[in-house]
Structure 1
Amino acid sequence: MSEDRWNTVLVLGGIRSGKSGFAESLVASAPSVRYVATAVGGEDDPEWLARIEAHQLRRPQSWTTEETGGDPARLTELIAQAGPDETLLVDDLGGWVAAVLDPARQPKDDEADVAALAEAVRGAVARVVLVSPEVGLSLVPVTPVGRAFADALGTTNQALASACDGVVLVVAGQPTWLRNGPLAPAQASVEAPVEAPVEAPVEAPTVVSRPVPVTTPVTPTPPSPPPAQPTTVVEPVVPAEPEPGLAAALSGSTMTLPLVASGLTEIKPGMDLPLPSSDSGPDARDRLVTIDLPGGGLGALGEAVEFAAATQSTVTPRAWVGVRVVVIAGRHTGGAVAGVDAADVERRVAEAEAGTGLLGRLAGQAGADIAVLRTAETGAMEDGPAASEEAVEAALRDGWQLADGAADAGRDAILLAGIGAGTEAAATAVLAATTGAEPVATLPRVQAPGGRFDDAAWMVRCAAIRDALHRIRQEPRGATDILRQIGGLDVAVATGVLLGAAARRIPVLLDGPLGIAAGLVARDLASQTRHWCLLPEAGTLALVKQGADVLGLTPVLQVGLDLGEGANALAVLPLIRTAVGLASASPVHPALLDEVGDDGLDDLSDDDDLAEFAEPEPHGPGPATIASA
């Protein structure tokens, strides 16, 4: 058994419970994973094929897929023959049981097949994760075939639960370990200091400036505010000394996750983060059809309404009123910064810190404040690792603390932005390494002031990415490996922001290459993070569009803005907030009401499809009866 207490684990859950996503997070740190697909058939079912494609898009490029299809014995052979350095993810046993019960295989000893699979799992030397539907909580099927399947699957689950080292049940995206869960490290807390209330000018955003050196986990030192600037500089959120004990652990701002003795959150693959509501979002979208709005309604803006409803767990979400723009200023070196004007980049970062420039103007109009974090310099990706393992871990924690700071300040949304030299090249390398995308097709062109394109600099960046990918071709492709080798510290900080925001249940608005790259890395640490992300505007970059497609993010708008990271989302934020507010405040259309003043719900007895489920009127004082036809 491995150090996290399991070598084989059975992940149980109902339909749309999040069991597959949780199982994928358990093996996210493996250099390579053999994904065993058991489903068979469905070639003529577009909806089923779409489900399979969605699963395929979630898998990292380093994974391989093997289909057992209609040969149940093949799965038993794969598990028995897998070596100690292999990792298998079997999704799911429902398909395997269906193949076992296939009439074309009968007569067969089905119980012997189940026993052979359980024995293979019990003796497995590889890491094996098996996903299986939990059928014991549903109604008994009304057909003989359905009952036979439920009985066989229940028997299989029991046999494998006794054979596996660990068993976990996933309900509504929340896993509960039934046996041998991960070891809980020593707990402590990070006590968040109380920020003094400040009064920000109406026209300019509040700026939280935090230049944190991420090469070593030291206490950040705030800079002096620039003179004569019409913005209020809020002191940075500085973690206090950790207080041991249960009371301190329960009061910690990141108590959703286990903590290490240093008082900082332990960030590792397979983290258990919360998910947005799986019902509120679809219910809110269904409600949009019924509300009293002229014309065809909100159109594409319904995507934002559904996202807000899911993240707020309500059918009538409120518009975000306290948005914090988190600006990460990264500094790459080598070919990634070919054609970059370092002085111009510094000027734009300084403007963000002062609350001026385009970002400051848009933030002021949207009523958002700005937090700026400068990272340490990242090495040239083509020459060797871009950052050390210790620096990456510190950067992840810095990003997490930025999300904590936004939550502690009462912000209800984070807008993730980046202003840095070489960020686009690093994001392109991350996209290529994690999804197999072609760098020359996704790397943005290098644009100089005046609308001139520097194609020579673009070719240098392409060469740097090519050399970096060639250098790591035999290296592990885990999340922290990608950050250390090619992503760099700004992508690491952005990844930490996404993880911390998910832990605190704060939605994140992505804009530009940095947020997309961070989303791709964060999904291998905690797959739940992408469900807390919204892409307000697609922009013009192929890098952003292709990465968003892999993450399953549908852009709310496709206006074609090309203002740079952060500015696109800020420009359309007022329109999105208006849509969310309208959807929440608008009543049901009068034509859909049975009478004035009702709640907009149809009477049950008037619905022919549901009348048979209505409570019958009692005939006399005795029990209710229904006369036979």
Structure 2
Amino acid sequence: MSEDRWNTVLVLGGIRSGKSAFAESLVADAPSVRYVATAVGGEDDPEWLARIEAHQRRRPQSWSTEETGADPTRLTALLTEAKPDETLLVDDLGGWVAAVLDPARQPNDDEADVAALAEAVRGTEARVVIVSPEVGLSLVPVTPVGRAFVDALGVTNQALAGACDAVALVVAGQATWLKREEPAERVKPRPAPAVPSTVAPPPPPVPAVVTPAPTLVAPASPATAQSPHIEQEADEPTVASDPAFSAALSGATTALPLVSSGLTEIVPGMDLPLPSSEAGPDARERLTTADLPGTGLGAFAEAIEFAAATQDTVTPRPWTSVRLVLITGSHAGGAATGADPFDIERRIAEAEQGGGLLGRLAGEAGADIAVLRAGDATAMEDGPVTGDDTVSAALRQGWQLADAAADAGRDAILLAGLGAGLEAVATAVLAATTGAEPVAMLPRVLVPGGRYDDHAWMIRCAAIRDALHRIRQEPRGATDILRELGGPDLAVATGVLLGAAARRIPVLLDGPLGIAAGLVARDLASQTRHWCLLPEAGTLALVRQGADVLGLTPVLNTGLDLGEGANALAVLPVLRTAIGLASALPVHPAMLAEQSVADDVD
């Protein structure tokens, strides 16, 4: 169960209100979801089938689908049989009521079916989200059949609202909670860890709360660097003058309100905006009519649909002002075994100066770089890696980094990390939150010269194993994971995702830090994953598995392995080209001719 402590939720909303997308965001933290489809028929209705396909495209591959349209009592049985570790998403009750009222089932005690469904929801041990059309605000239908359906659905909604722990109403993509109760009878206190008979050594000290100042640079583009009128070397940075960025991060983090985003605290269950549920699918559909040769833009449709949804338009514009937010931090203990701290510091210093690989790629892509040294974390196998105060401060500072990017006019954020032990920590977070096998996810340790240090890899595996064993009986909410395993750098990255969602800024993820932050952020605000895109799959199983859990489909699979941030920067220009091309191309003449014929027939 997540930190918001509910088992069952009823999500109400009108047609095209975004209720299904909001419901899907509520179960984004589940490793797998059983999607229960209640609709029946529609095989001869292309528009209805198109809607179903749009829903199917949004579902992660880890979800399974079960249809109950032919037998509405099957839904009651599924809820009754569901196990405590299962997650069900029912979409929607309108289809279920239509099946209940089917003349082929009459005469039938329909009220008994509704009562049985409500009782099954009330007693289920699984986590369940149910979507249903809200009919109470619509006009009374003029036909007897229409009135019967509306009346039956209204009664069913009332029964389910009383049985569920929480009820949300979605209007124009914005959700409002009508009911949020603590299901006390279902929430069992976690057993306290056994106290050993011997005296355990004291836990290691945790770092003090710090608020480091970030460095913002604008790497020189190749064109600028080679201009004869500029006395600046190609790898010499220009320090950007960004008052919003400096003002947002110059004071003490714990004392700064989140003014730009309209929030004052970061707590589980926050209601953050969602991208448009219609613009993305409509933009993908528009590609089928565009004047393109061949079969179209292929995998780039994923980026086009994402850009359309986050910009709420079927003709999205390419991202023209991107900020790379590079979070750095080191982790002690076995997680950092085999890492070269001097080489890592060299790369961080290069990024701070706008040089090195990241600086060159950022310059070519026209992106600036914000480097934040988030601080160090202790060994995760020995005890908590940081303190609660540091986690809170780091979350807020990450949020302010997103606010600063928005205030500076950036239209996208590229989130990346750099630090000793980061890959091991991200693997531990993935294992703790999804149950993934660490040995299968942890990347091998590559040292200069193209040689793998398998002994160092084994030590990292042991550190992850010991850390997971240490927290086996501990709570695993978002802040718990950050305190026990993540550390300040992961907390800052999580705050960036939260702040970006609040400001409606898309985030391009690249590497273990962004994926781990996405897994943590979903338990604070599940809407965050809908603002994230994975431009390039990379070579790490850790990234691929985490992306699949978050429901993120990589746009490209080029096999790049340049490190965090560099992969996404390398493919950013081609993503921009595809998005701009898709928006600029007109409708194919053949499609216009077909439309003209159809108009003449009408």
How large is the RMSD of aligned CA atoms in angstroms? 4.5
Aligned 8 A contact 2:280 2:309 in 1: yes
Q: Which moved more, 1:567-576 or 1:11-20?
A: 11-20
Aligned pair partner of 1:254 in 239, 249, 261: 261
Distance 2:9 2:288 in 1: 43
Question: In the superposition, relative to structure 1, how do residues 55 and 154 fare at CA in structure 2: closer, same or farther (>3 Å)?
Answer: farther
Match of 2:12 in 1: 12
Aligned 8 A contact 2:60 2:551 in 1: no
Aligned pair partner of 2:599 in 590, 600, 605: 605
Match of 1:238 in 2: 247
Aligned 8 A contact 2:87 2:128 in 1: yes
Consecutive unaligned residues of structure 1, counting only runs of 5 or more, are 60-67, 183-213, 243-247, 260-265, 595-599, 612-629
Match of 1:415 in 2: 414
Deviation at 1:252, TM superposition (A): 3.0
Amino acid at match of 1:498: L
Instruction: Describe the superposition over 1:190-209 as per-residue Cα deviations: whole angstroms up to 9, x where unpaired.
Output: xxxxxxxxxxxxxxxxxxxx
Distance 1:472 1:294 in 2: 56
Question: In the superposition, relative to structure 1, how do residues 315 and 181 fare at CA in structure 2: closer, same or farther (>3 Å)?
Answer: farther
Deviation at 1:132, TM superposition (A): 3.7
Aligned 8 A contact 1:132 1:157 in 2: no
Consecutive unaligned residues of structure 2, counting only runs of 5 or more, are 44-48, 65-70, 183-205, 218-231
**SS of 2:326's equivalent?**
strand
**SS of 2:457's equivalent?**
helix
Aligned 8 A contact 1:6 1:165 in 2: yes
Aligned 8 A contact 1:21 1:527 in 2: no
Answer yes or no: is 1:346 the counterpart of 2:340. Answer: no
Distance 1:280 1:73 in 2: 34
Question: In the superposition, relative to structure 1, how do residues 475 and 180 fare at CA in structure 2: closer, same or farther (>3 Å)?
Answer: closer
Write out aligned runs for 1:368-379 (5 A): 368-379=367-378
Aligned 8 A contact 1:498 1:518 in 2: yes
**SS of 1:327's equivalent?**
strand
Deviation at 1:481, TM superposition (A): 2.0
Answer yes or no: is 1:174 the counterpart of 2:181. Answer: no
Question: In the superposition, relative to structure 1, how do residues 114 and 34 fare at CA in structure 2: closer, same or farther (>3 Å)?
Answer: farther
Distance 1:437 1:422 in 2: 19
Match of 1:315 in 2: 314
Question: In the superposition, relative to structure 1, how do residues 283 and 34 fare at CA in structure 2: closer, same or farther (>3 Å)?
Answer: closer
Instruction: Describe the superposition over 1:109-147 as per-residue Cα deviations: whole angstroms up to 9, x where unpaired.
Output: 43245456668989x899997624115278999999987
Match of 2:220 in 1: none
Distance 2:285 2:102 in 1: 38
Q: Which moved more, 1:214-223 or 1:429-438?
A: 214-223
Amino acid at match of 2:451: R
**SS of 1:254's equivalent?**
coil
Amino acid at match of 1:170: V
Aligned 8 A contact 1:400 1:498 in 2: yes
Distance 2:352 2:443 in 1: 26
How many residues align? The count is 538
Answer yes or no: is 1:357 the counterpart of 2:351. Answer: no
Write out aligned runs for 1:429-468 (5 A): 429-468=428-467
Deviation at 1:148, TM superposition (A): 5.8
Match of 1:533 in 2: 532
Identity %: 68
Instruction: Describe the superposition over 1:180-229 as per-residue Cα deviations: whole angstroms up to 9, x where unpaired.
Output: 799xxxxxxxxxxxxxxxxxxxxxxxxxxxxxxx966666446799x995
Which fold has the larger relative contact order, with Cα–Cα distance below 8 Å and residues 6 or more apart in sequence? 2
Answer yes or no: is 1:550 the counterpart of 2:549. Answer: yes
**SS of 2:530's equivalent?**
helix
Answer yes or no: is 1:588 the counterpart of 2:587. Answer: yes
Distance 2:8 2:291 in 1: 53
Distance 1:585 1:311 in 2: 18
Aligned 8 A contact 2:27 2:33 in 1: no
- Please, what TM-score do these two structures have when normalized by structure 2? 0.76
**SS of 2:111's equivalent?**
helix
**SS of 1:376's equivalent?**
coil
Distance 2:365 2:169 in 1: 43
**SS of 1:325's equivalent?**
strand
Amino acid at match of 1:254: S
Deviation at 1:409, TM superposition (A): 0.5
Question: In the superposition, relative to structure 1, how do residues 370 and 603 fare at CA in structure 2: closer, same or farther (>3 Å)?
Answer: farther
Match of 2:494 in 1: 495
Question: In the superposition, relative to structure 1, how do residues 287 and 444 fare at CA in structure 2: closer, same or farther (>3 Å)?
Answer: same
Aligned 8 A contact 1:13 1:134 in 2: yes
Distance 1:291 1:96 in 2: 37
Aligned 8 A contact 1:25 1:524 in 2: no
Distance 1:38 1:586 in 2: 38
Write out aligned runs for 1:43-192 (5 A): 54=59, 57=62, 70=73, 91=90, 94=93, 109-115=109-115, 131-134=130-133, 136=135, 150-161=150-161, 167-178=167-178
Match of 2:67 in 1: none
Q: Which moved more, 1:527-536 or 1:581-590?
A: 581-590
